[in-house]
Amino acid sequence: MTVAKPASRPLVPHFSSGPCAKRPGWTPQNLKDAALGRSHRAKIGKEKLKRAIDLTRDVLGVPADYRIGIVPASDTGAVEMALWSLLGARPVTALSWESFGEGWTSDILNQLKLKDVTKLAVGYGDIPDLSKVDPASDIIFTWNGTTSGVRVPNADWISARREGLTICDATSAAFAQPLDWPKLDVVTFSWQKALGGEAGHGMLVLSPRAVERLETYKPAWPLPKIFRMTKGGKLNEGIFVGETINTPSMLCVEDYLDALNWGKSVGGLKALMARADKNLKVLEDWQAKTPWIDFLAATPAIRSNTSVCMKVTDPAVASLSTDAQIDFIKKMVGLVEKEGAGYDFAGHRDAPAGLRIWCGATIEASDVALLTQWIDWAFAETRAQLAKAA
């Protein structure tokens, strides 16, 4: 099989699943008003941090009685704050179908050493039986599994009369998929995902039920300073108006503000979700006409529209050892990267060998379409090498 090298390259060849592509039209000049050299405690710093919280609420449609805080250490920091501060009061149900969910489960079992834990886990490309989730327990799950390309289809499986809290890692779902806020008590995400912001800062959203838990329950273990959300048994409200626990980067804050304002300018959350859906549709159309590629998530209802994971189904490749399949993917992706036509779209190191193409709202559908042409070419080249070596 011979495929001609494409004549055009994506305008923005960045398809990494984090840090993700900057929003269309972004330049460093967009950050000219950053409060560089100024204290985040100064009036200008506080105003910008508060503005970031307010815009987040506006764009995501977060309920007025939910608190939103900017916290250290990206989404990971936000999730760990929730786990260490809230768990232990009730039994826990931990769901995992990819590496991050597995990581949270491991922390609950091996670091917090909780005993009354139900683990619902399946392999990459599938999702656990959500009907088995106990509403009397605290529930920990990823809305969108970044390393598997599998998302929950909705929040219908979460009881409106649940007794426990729902802790949702939504880092590659926020701004691209509809979050059912009444069903969620803790939501975390980071700036570098769906809006293409800079890394290192996390967002923590708490429902009134989560706040009540913080104020009425004290964990049996000590909490590091950056995890502490209460003072004297009451919520530290300052965290949720921009008085961050540690020193944030005001350059990154400015970049997040720019991304949020861009999101509003293109039509807000509805438009952002539509952009991601449009990008996924490009890959669905490509898969439908390409016999050697398929989605890792076979069921469309659980297929991510951001971290889209795909596998090579060509019999000669699929029959290779795991290491050989990984090597095939590396060679194929390497050819595209060498041409400057697409970067960082190999599957996650913990996932089955394949591709992971970021399709969030900052990506243009026209660039996804061009990338598929380059992948077609690279596959043909790499497949020919494999046949020659056989």
* pLDDT level of residue 2 (50, 70, 90 thresholds): confident
pLDDT at 155 over 90: yes
Check whether 1 has a pLDDT greater than 80.
Answer: no
CATH code at position 273: 3.90.1150.10
Residues 204-247 have pLDDT tens digits of: 999 999 999 999 999 999 999 999 999 999 999 999 999 999 99
Tell me the mean pLDDT in the region 345-372: 98
- Do 322 and 174 have their domain in common? no
CA distances from 374 to 16, 362, 378, 379 (A): 16, 20, 6, 8
End residue of a domain, out of 222, 241, 264: 264
Dist CA 134 CA 97 (whole Å): 18
So what's the pLDDT on residue 227?
97
Give the CATH number for residue 142.
Answer: 3.40.640.10
**240/275 same-domain check:** no
Please count the structural domains in the chain: 2
Going by pLDDT thresholds of 50, 70 and 90, the confidence category of residue 173 is very high
214 shares a domain with 349: no
End-to-end CA distance of the chain: 16
Q: What is the rounded CA–CA span in Å between residue 10 and residue 190?
A: 26
Query: What pTM was computed for the model?
Result: 0.97
pLDDT of residue 372: 98
Q: Are residues 235 and 308 in the same domain?
A: no
Q: Is 249 domain-assigned?
A: yes
Q: Do both 87 and 133 map to the same domain? A: yes
Same domain (yes/no): 135, 219: yes
Quick check: is 23 in a domain?
Answer: no
Q: Does residue 276 sit in the same domain as residue 245? A: no
- Indicate whether 4 belongs to any domain: no
Do residues 286 and 143 share a domain?
A: no
What pLDDT shows up at residue 47? 98
**Is 16 a domain residue?**
no
pLDDT in tens, 276-320: 999 999 999 999 999 999 999 999 999 999 999 999 999 999 999
- Read off the pLDDT of each residue in 122-137 and give the average, rounded to a whole number: 98
Cα dihedral sign, 263-268-269-274: negative
pLDDT of residue 130: 98
Domain match, 247 and 345 both: no
Domain presence at residue 13: no
List the domain range (segments joined by +) for residue 114. Answer: 28-264
